[in-house]
């Protein structure tokens, strides 16, 4: 399915390119595939991208910077939803993002002071997220936040069962159909739909989250969407484009 890892220009970590090619059972090459529908990784000095025909997907946490600086972070609804009952020192709260995607929501949680473990089961998405985190850790404006983010590739149901601590927060954002999408979201979703399917295991996922004994579970939903797995939350935080269902255990 993935034709190649194409390396363009200088400054690319060739060991990483080779490991990626080995993982996906393909070759490292400097030639872009001729087939206009080809799916391949492109690795250049700006980082790693996944190309599917004319579309490109790349993890880029730098575009989140404007949301976490200049006093904007306090307005992030995800942090209002994630708020804990107890005051805790910055960096001592632990969150698990079971549907990490390209890490944008996790970045907000980490900026809000959480140590975040990011679980992602799709190998293409995980590769792009891994690359975005490497770049963020090298960026002086982002490294403090990115240092609080740790990626584990795999199925959250299994990874949750292997946790050695009880998290303060478990965050779930399974894919949902949006009514109005921006052009950028539409483009991103087209590529994502080529490599993954909407969440088919919501009952098991939420049960695994409960079994991990968190203080709180926060679930991102569309404003009018049904509750995940039909589970009524303790309360919801709703805005025009999004709803966060919060299930509180203590
Ligand atoms: C809507 S996206 C999440 C976007 C993310 N909140 C962000 O800010 O970028 C859902 C992600 O969850 C992942 N996912 C779904 N079910 C999963 C599971 N059981 N274990 C790990 N990852 C899962 C999908 O592969 C997808 O990347």
DSSP string, 53-98: TTEEE---GGGGHHHHSTT-GGG-HHHHHH--SS---TT--EEEES
**What is the atom index within ligand 1 of the atom nearest the CA of 154?**
21
Q: Is the CB of 125 under 6 A from ligand 1?
A: yes
CA separation for the pair 11, 17 (Å, rounded)? 12
Say what the pLDDT of residue 175 is.
80
φ/ψ (deg, to 5) at 68: -115, 0
How deeply is 90 buried, as exposed, middle or buried, from its count of CB atoms within 10 A (0-12, 13-18, 19+)? exposed
pLDDT in tens, 149-179: 999 999 999 999 999 999 999 999 998 655 5
Q: Is the CB of 122 under 6 A from ligand 1?
A: yes
Element containing residue 140 per DSSP (H, E): none
pLDDT band for position 225 (50/70/90)? very high
Of the listed ranges 95-99, 132-136, 182-186, the least confidently predicted one is 182-186
CA separation for the pair 105, 157 (Å, rounded)? 19
pLDDT band for position 184 (50/70/90)? low
Tell whether the torsion through CA atoms of 63, 69, 70 and 74 is positive or negative: positive
pLDDT in tens, 78-114: 999 999 987 776 678 999 999 999 999 999 999 999 9
pLDDT band for position 188 (50/70/90)? low
Q: Which domains does the chain have, with CATH numbers?
A: 2-45 (no CATH), 61-248 (3.40.50.150)
CA of 99 to the centre of ligand 1 (A): 3
Distant-in-sequence, close-in-space partners of 132: CB < 8 Å, separation ≥ 6: 47, 58, 59, 60, 61, 102, 103
CA separation for the pair 226, 99 (Å, rounded)? 18
Q: What is the pTM of this model?
A: 0.93
Q: Is the CB of 44 under 6 A from ligand 1?
A: no
Distant-in-sequence, close-in-space partners of 79: CB < 8 Å, separation ≥ 6: 73, 108, 109, 112
């Amino acid at each position: 399915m993935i034709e190649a890892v194409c390396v363009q220009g200088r400054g690319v970590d060739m060991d990483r390119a080779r490991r990626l090619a080995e993982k996906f059972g393909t070759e490292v090459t400097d030639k872009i595939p001729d087939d206009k529908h080809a799916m391949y990784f492109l690795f250049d000095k700006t980082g790693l991208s996944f190309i599917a025909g004319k579309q490109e997907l790349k993890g880029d946490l730098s575009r989140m910077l404007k949301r976490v600086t200049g006093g904007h972070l306090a307005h992030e609804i995800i942090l209002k939803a994630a708020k804990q009952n107890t005051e805790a020192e910055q960096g001592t709260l632990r969150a698990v993002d079971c549907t990490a995607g390209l890490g944008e929501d996790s970045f907000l949680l980490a900026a809000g002071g959480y140590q975040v473990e990011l679980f992602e089961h799709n190998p293409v998405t995980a590769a792009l997220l891994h690359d975005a985190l490497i770049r963020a850790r090298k960026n002086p404006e982002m490294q403090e936040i990115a240092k609080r983010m740790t990626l584990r590739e795999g199925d959250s149901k299994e990874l949750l069962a292997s946790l050695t601590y009880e998290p303060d927060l478990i965050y779930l954002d399974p894919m949902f159909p949006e009514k109005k999408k921006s052009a950028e979201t539409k483009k991103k979703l087209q590529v994502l739909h080529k490599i993954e399917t909407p969440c088919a295991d919501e009952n098991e996922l939420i049960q695994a989250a409960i079994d991990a004994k968190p203080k709180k579970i926060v679930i991102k939903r569309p404003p009018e969407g049904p509750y995940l797995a039909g589970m009524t939350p303790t309360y919801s935080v709703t805005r025009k484009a999004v709803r966060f269902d919060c299930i509180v255990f203590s």
